[in-house]
Amino acid sequence: MHTLDVLLQQVVNGLALGMMYALLALGFTMVYGIIELINFAHFSVFMTGTFVGLMVLNLMGVTAVSASLQGPALVGTLIVLFLATMVATGVLGVLIERICLRPVRHVSGTAPMITTIGVAFILINIMLLTWGPQAQRFPQLLPNWRWGVGGAEISFKQIVLFVVGLLLMLALWHLVQRTTLGKAMRATAQDADAARMMGIDVDRVVVVTFFLGSALAGAGSLFFGLYYGFTGYYIGYTTGLRAFTSAVLGGIGSIPGAVLGGLLIGLTQSLGGQFLGVKWTDVIIFSILIIVMVLRPNGLLGTRTPQKA
């Protein structure tokens, strides 16, 4: 294959991966934007979502040895799978906020962040004890259709993931920019005390933010399962760390920044793995992050905000 064809192929692969990182990064950036908390439990909500998706598919009779689906059966299965998984992970995010984080929300220092790390390890060990240490095969319900694009190939799986990811991001953008709830979220992010004095139920906004961020992590977890074909209790750390890097790279607190950061990390992983070797992927990703942080501490699309009184 010609070098330009290889480059094009890796760009296609990188954009598909980038959509997964972008969805996961949106959860980080939404929570940070509202309550200025880095939620490390988000790693494990993502991991848990893959197992929820696996259970949903098994309940629908789709197992690792089932043939891929087509037509209305495929569309119906995907709709049920995404809805059930996103609702389950969204509820999990709400429970984490209500039970573990709300009591320490006003505690100064690192206590809330340490709490999220504790929640992450609890979820990891629950999945480990429930499913065991071995990787679980994820059903390949999408047909292996491929089409030529120049000298490269684009698969049906990549198209589905890219379209679903794009639709979810557009829905989130509409919610944040065009609805009353979105206005309340933006007001709370700017100044929670002022928003409360204006009659906004800040606690409700925080709960909704956790639900939406965790639901997007659930969608991202299905991207992982459908793309790589497996899951395990250990997948949250590496994938979540790259997604967190995406949020920081794009400018944590910025929704467009999270999307841009996710796509850049996806492209970096794909192109770096192809031309320099997979073992260098994380070196490249985190080197870029450090360079951007040194030259632009607020990220590519982040803005410096004044300190609240």
The DSSP-derived string for 244-279 is HHHHHHH-TT-HHHHHHHHHHHHHHHHHHHHHT-GG
105 alpha carbon, distance to own chain's centre: 23
Please give the model's pTM, rounded to 2 decimal places. Answer: 0.87
Tokens linked to 186 = 């933006």
C-beta atoms surrounding 301 within 10 Å: 18
Question: How much is the pLDDT for 164?
Answer: 87
Of the pLDDT bands very low, low, confident and very high (cuts 50, 70, 90), residue 1 is low
Give the Cα separation of 208 and 234 in Å (integer).
28
Tokens linked to 130 = 């429930």
Residue 236 near residue 40, CB atoms below 8 Å: no
Give the Cα separation of 235 and 240 in Å (integer).
8
195-233 pLDDT, tens digit per residue, is 888 888 998 999 999 999 899 889 888 988 988 889 988
293-306 pLDDT, tens digit per residue, is 888 888 888 766 55
120-134, 139-153, 159-173, 181-195 — which one is most confidently predicted on average? 120-134
First to last CA, the chain: 59
Arithmetic mean of pLDDT over the chain? 86
